[in-house]
């Protein structure tokens, strides 16, 4: 008697299905499916590429840095600087005016030229009150991060190559901070904290 002669037709169908599953026949795509996948997959890949490119462009266009006009990206020092301030004459009263940097920045409420509007700050940018509040701030020496240090009155602290001795610790320095003291010459400092110590004792605002 032949194999399976004692089983009914439905049982034989089920057993054949089980054998196909066990031999993974079911998971193998047919030749026509393979040809279709081969033809379609480059199209799918292209669509995916276009989608990713579109998403990247959309992200770039909607990011805050690109929201500004070309060439006017925000510096690392933050967006609350004189460049964005409505009291900066070069912005003609417009808040976040981002004037052409070739124009001289001038603070109308403190009557002072701002030589570095991208890295100069004060509280009035936030309060938008025309009465000066606190000192103007510059970006200090980079010490494990950006810090802001006060101007000495209307004198901006200079940073970089500074020769002399620190006015606080006496260390001989070639780089640091220097401040103009008008008729009293200049003072040099080795670091932000020693400049601040001196500033607190001599503050003009
Ligand atoms: S110093 Fe202050 S008030 Fe003056 S332009 Fe700069 S941010 Fe504005
Ligand atoms: Zn020092």
User: Could you tell me the residue ranges of all domains in the chain?
Assistant: 10-62, 152-205
Residues 27, 14: Cα–Cα separation, whole Å? 17
Asked if pLDDT for residue 57 goes beyond 60, the answer is no
Percent of the chain scoring above 70 in pLDDT = 62
**Coil, strand or helix at 173:** strand
Entry pTM: 0.66
Residue 193 has pLDDT above 60, yes or no: yes
**What Cα–Cα distance (Å) separates residue 59 from each residue in 49, 70, 76, 99, 136?**
15, 16, 20, 26, 35
Whether residue 146 contacts residue 111, with contact meaning beta carbons closer than 8 Å, is answered with no
In terms of C-beta distances under 8 Å and separation of at least 24 residues, what long-range contacts does 112-116 make, across chains too? Answer: 112/136, 112/154, 114/82, 114/88, 115/156, 116/156
- Measured in Å, residue 3 CA sits from the centre of ligand 1 at 96
pLDDT at 43 > cutoff 80: no
| Closest-lying ligand 1 atom to the alpha carbon of residue 123 | 2
Mean pLDDT of the chain: 78
* CB 91 less than 6 A from any atom of ligand 1: no
Strands 137-139 and 112-114 come out as unpaired
Each residue's pLDDT tens digit, 16-36: 544 554 444 444 545 554 444
Q: Which residues pair with 150 in a beta bridge?
A: 137
pLDDT at 144: 86
164-170 average pLDDT score: 97
182: pLDDT confidence band, cut at 50, 70 and 90?
confident
Kindly state if the Cβ of 112 falls inside 6 Å of ligand 1: no
Calculate how far, in angstroms, residue 169's C-alpha sits from the geometric centre of ligand 2: 4
pLDDT of residue 44: 56
- List the 137-139 sheet strands across, edge first: 120-121, 137-139, 148-150
pLDDT given for residue 50 in this prediction: 46
Q: Ligand 2 centre from 188 Cα, in Å?
A: 8
Average pLDDT of span 180-189: 92
Residue 100's H or E segment, with its range, is: none
């Amino acid at each position: 008697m032949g194999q399976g002669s004692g089983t009914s037709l439905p049982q034989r169908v089920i057993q054949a299905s089980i054998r196909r599953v066990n031999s993974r026949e079911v998971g193998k795509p047919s030749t026509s499916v393979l040809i279709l996948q081969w033809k379609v997959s480059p199209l799918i890949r292209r669509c995916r590429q276009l989608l990713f490119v579109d998403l990247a462009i959309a992200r770039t266009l909607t990011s805050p840095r690109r929201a500004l006009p070309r060439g006017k990206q925000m510096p690392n020092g933050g967006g609350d600087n004189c460049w964005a301030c409505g009291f900066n004459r070069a912005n003609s009263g417009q808040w976040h005016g981002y004037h052409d940097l070739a124009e001289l920045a001038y603070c109308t409420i403190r009557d002072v030229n701002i030589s570095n509007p991208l890295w100069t700050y004060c509280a009035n940018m936030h309060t938008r009150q025309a009465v000066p509040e606190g000192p103007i701030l510059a970006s200090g020496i980079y010490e494990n991060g950006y810090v802001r240090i006060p101007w000495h009155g209307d004198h901006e602290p200079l940073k970089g190559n500074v020769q002399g001795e620190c006015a606080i610790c006496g260390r001989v320095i070639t780089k640091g901070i220097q401040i103009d003291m008008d008729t009293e010459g200049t003072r040099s400092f080795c670091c932000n904290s020693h400049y601040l110590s001196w500033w607190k004792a001599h503050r003009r605002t």
